[in-house]
């Protein structure tokens, strides 16, 4: 089974993915590391630009029929048996990214993406089985327990779990309004 764990930067993908793969006994795969190893990703500054179509092909070729947890904010764009989209209150995302030294522009882009469900919408466009999980105020263990419970129930789709429209005022200071 291929499980893709995706979400906006700062939601806890890597921590949750590693714990989930450990609990399931699955191989852990970082999208960034995999793309670099396969020559389909190129370092640009501190980020890695990845050919998403090539990523999808390589993941299918390498992991079809295997048990893996694929971690990365592009993992929802590969063909997976289930995509878990982690969500986190946009203000917490902003605070985490700020502490990581993100530029104001990158911070604003990611806060806006979380606010308006960008990853979730893309995941739904690409995959049949999408499970949305709100990580706000939960430990990694609680999040993994929730994911495992959803998988054990055979749930194929769970979306609409979060609605950040009420969070707009909380994150206004982090957004780039008026083309700043």
Phi, psi of 123 (to 5 degrees): -60, -40
- 165 annotated binding-site participant: no
CA dist., res. 29 & res. 116, Å (int)? 27
**Which spans in 88-171 are helix H?**
90-99, 104-115, 118-126, 140-152, 168-171
- 13 annotated binding-site participant: yes
- 154 annotated binding-site participant: no
- 72 annotated binding-site participant: no
Residues whose CB is less than 8 angstroms from the CB of residue 9 and which lie 6 or more positions away in sequence, other chains included: 73, 93, 97, 102, 110
- 100 annotated binding-site participant: yes
- Which residue ranges are tagged as binding site? 10, 12-15, 100, 138
- Which residue ranges are tagged as binding site for ATP? 10, 12-15, 100, 138
């Amino acid at each position: 089974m291929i499980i893709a764990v995706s979400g906006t930067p700062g939601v806890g993908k890597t921590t949750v993915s590693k714990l989930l793969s450990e609990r399931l006994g699955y191989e852990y795969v970082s999208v960034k590391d995999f793309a670099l190893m396969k020559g389909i990703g190129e370092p640009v500054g501190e980020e890695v630009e990845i050919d998403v179509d090539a990523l999808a092909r390589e993941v299918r070729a390498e992991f079809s029929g295997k048990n893996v947890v694929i971690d990365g904010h592009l993992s929802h764009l590969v063909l997976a048996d289930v995509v878990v989209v982690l969500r986190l209150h946009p203000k917490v995302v902003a605070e985490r990214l700020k502490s990581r030294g993100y530029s104001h522009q990158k911070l604003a882009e990611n806060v806006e993406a979380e606010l308006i469900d960008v990853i979730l919408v893309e995941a739904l466009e690409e995959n049949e089985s999408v499970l949305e999980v709100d990580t706000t105020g939960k430990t990694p263990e609680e999040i993994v327990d929730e994911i495992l419970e959803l998988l054990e129930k055979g749930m194929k789709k769970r979306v609409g779990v979060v609605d950040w429209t009420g969070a707009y005022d909380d994150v206004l200071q982090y957004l780039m309004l008026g083309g700043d």
